[in-house]
A = this chain, B = another copy of it.
């Protein structure tokens, strides 16, 4: 199939011969041409074109130790990755930032632990200059693998490793989940609600835990019956809402840990004849516009700028890659917590 099989590709050597110069000169021209006289450079460029020369990246990487590619590792099953708009937004932010610095984004999906080994090999094998890892669950080994292999890494979301020293040296980007949750609950209190429930995310994820913690910050004496765990899907939100109504029929406010779960909860409230926000006020989290603006009624929620977080992750990594940054100690840059903001629509 190859028009010009890789095996027959011209090398620097060939170009040099053709242009009647040394390999070094060709290399200089190919890499920008600094310090090569105009006419000579022109001759070299002509030879490059005639031969259709394309530099061999493996050879280049071998000496420069750079390959202009950054891996984005998503440790989630494809199904989740492709359904949750969260990833789409994050990837877009990353993609933009990397493209701006002429780095190629390489997406690695690792559904099960079975893939971990191969992905780990890929990362440590030097195919990429660094990695952005989404390690949403507590038990993920990939960041550790990358770390041990000396692959600069930035994590999406707060990592959960117990060792404080390890944590301090790990770069991550997260939003102020806890503070945002507090704002959500305060909004409900300000509306005069006194029986406020929480639909939490899966409690093996730091984001869920932090949002629950924020909820408790404001409502420390909450009854356990007013908290139900969901799974970040609409169905999970609906089921949690049903459980809450059963246990606490008199509730008048709900803080859901995601807009998607809130949409499921709204459906149940409507089916049960509760008016929103009159009978029950609802606040979501994320401000996933494609969801929050289209629920009935539109959702009051806590906004986090997901695309911006993606961009920041890429920025942080690119920065850490600079030779100037401390090679072995505490990184010159530090982790980032982005702010959240209450967005008032009709549901609370």
Contact = CB atoms under 8 A, between A and B. Distances in A.
Contact of A3 (B2, B58, B148): B148
Nearest to A331: B1
Nearest to A166: B3
A154 to B, nearest CB: 9
A31 interface: no
Contacts of A9: 150
A22 interface: no
A149 interface: yes
B150 A3 contact: yes
A341 B304 CA distance: 45
Interface residues of A, number: 63
Q: Within the oligomer, what is the number of copies of this chain?
A: 2
B150 A4 contact: yes
A88 B78 contact: yes
Nearest to A148: B3
Contacts of A62: 56, 58-59, 62
A125 B55 contact: yes
A171 B1 contact: yes
Interface of A: 1-7, 9, 52, 54-59, 61-62, 65, 67, 69, 78-79, 81-83, 85, 87-88, 91-92, 95, 99, 102, 104-109, 111, 114-115, 118-119, 122, 124-127, 147-153, 169-171, 320, 327-328, 331
